[in-house]
Amino acid sequence: MKCIKCSENAVISLYRHNAGFCKEHFTEYFHKQINKAAKDHKMFVKDDKVMVCVSGGKDSLVLWHILHSYGLDTTGMYVSLGIGEYSQKSKEKVRKFAEKHGLKAIIVDLEEKGHPIPMLASRTRRNACSVCGQVKRHYFNKVAFDEGFTVVATGHNLDDEAARLFGNVLRWDTAHLGKMSPNLPEDGDTMKRKVKPLMRLTEKEVAAYAFLHGIDYIPDECPMSKGASSLEYKKALNELESKMPGTKHFFYLEYFNLAADRFEIKEENKDKLKKCLKCGMDSYLDVCSFCRLMEKAE
């Protein structure tokens, strides 16, 4: 297959666009998709101080690489989960990436803090991923607030978001359907804006970009992700995609044109928000859910 722009050998074929691209023109396409996402959803404003949530995986490191190359003021934020070798290796990838590009990475180490995810999960008898989600969310919000970042960027790609939408639709989870936006506005006094600039790119495209541009990431998956429903949704969507190219793209991106407004969340209880007595973040109760989790695990 040849590149549709220059007739060099293609390194990737994008059936949904009915096109093959060489490295140079794939890179151009990739940047165009990010620019379109950022523009359509007004993701960044001048002088933004961007906190990039990084895991050591391909998506977040590619995102950091690109936002930095655009001249944005970026800092990486990594939460080391205390999940054995996986956490060690991924932390190393983040450190090396930051060092190589002369960037700053803020590292929160749960092992050092005395509450690694496996321990929290077993002490509270909860599923590791749900505890993990809650803990990561807390630290991302807290660090962004404490350090004065104006926006938080995450590496969620088209497959992640299509799978999440698919799961939310299957469960008719209207609360989460209302939070699908790739640009979630600030919330209360302490939650910063959250954006997903890779929303138009599939994970295959992100992996290809990392491969072609020598971005060194951890290819292993978190061992806790085995059996995650999101992986089943991705598999199902990829099967559909193979038979009907463009399905994922249409399903996810058209949601915002055709359906998202039906699930908008009404801001009713905002005046009831107070500050958590322990950590100072917004909470509807005296002590926020993260601090209650910590109390329970003690």
Partner 1 sequence: MVTIEMPDGTVRQSDKNRIKDILKDIGQNDNAVLTVVDGCLVTPDTGVKNGTVVKLISVVSGG
Supply the DSSP string of 52-121, one letter for each residue.
Answer: EE--SSHHHHHHHHHHHHTT-EEEEEEEE---HHHHHHHHHHHHHHHHHTT--EEEEEHHHHT--HHHHH
Which of ligand SF4, Zn ion, partner 1, none is residue 291 near (CB under 5 to 8 Å by kind)? Zn ion
Q: Of Zn ion, partner 1, ligand SF4, none, which one sits near residue 117, judging by CB under 5 to 8 A according to partner kind?
A: ligand SF4
Residues numbered 162-201 forming contacts with partner 1, rule: CB under 8 A: none
Regarding 236 and contact with Zn ion (CB under 5 A), the answer is no
Choose which of 137, 176, 204, 278 interacts with Zn ion (CB under 5 A). Answer: 278
Distance, CA of 44 to CA of 41 (rounded, Å): 9
Q: Are 77 and 54 in contact (CB under 8 A)?
A: yes
Q: Does 42 bind partner 1 (CB under 8 A)?
A: no
Paired strand residues for 282:
275
Rounded Cα distance, 176 and 263, in Å: 9
State yes or no: residue 213 binds Zn ion (CB under 5 A): no
Residue 50, binding choice from ligand SF4, partner 1, Zn ion, none, Cβ under 5 to 8 Å by partner class:
none
CA distance linking residue 52 with residue 61, whole number of Å: 9
28 belongs to the binding site for partner 1 (CB under 8 A): no
CA distance 44 to 177: 23
Cβ neighbour number for residue 21 with a 10 Å cutoff: 26
Q: Mask 11-40, x = binds Zn ion (CB under 5 A)?
A: -----------x--x---------------
* Site residues (vs Zn ion, CB under 5 A): 3, 5-6, 8, 22, 25, 276, 278-279, 288, 291
* Site residues (vs ligand SF4, CB under 6 A): 81, 117, 128-129, 132-133, 222, 224-225
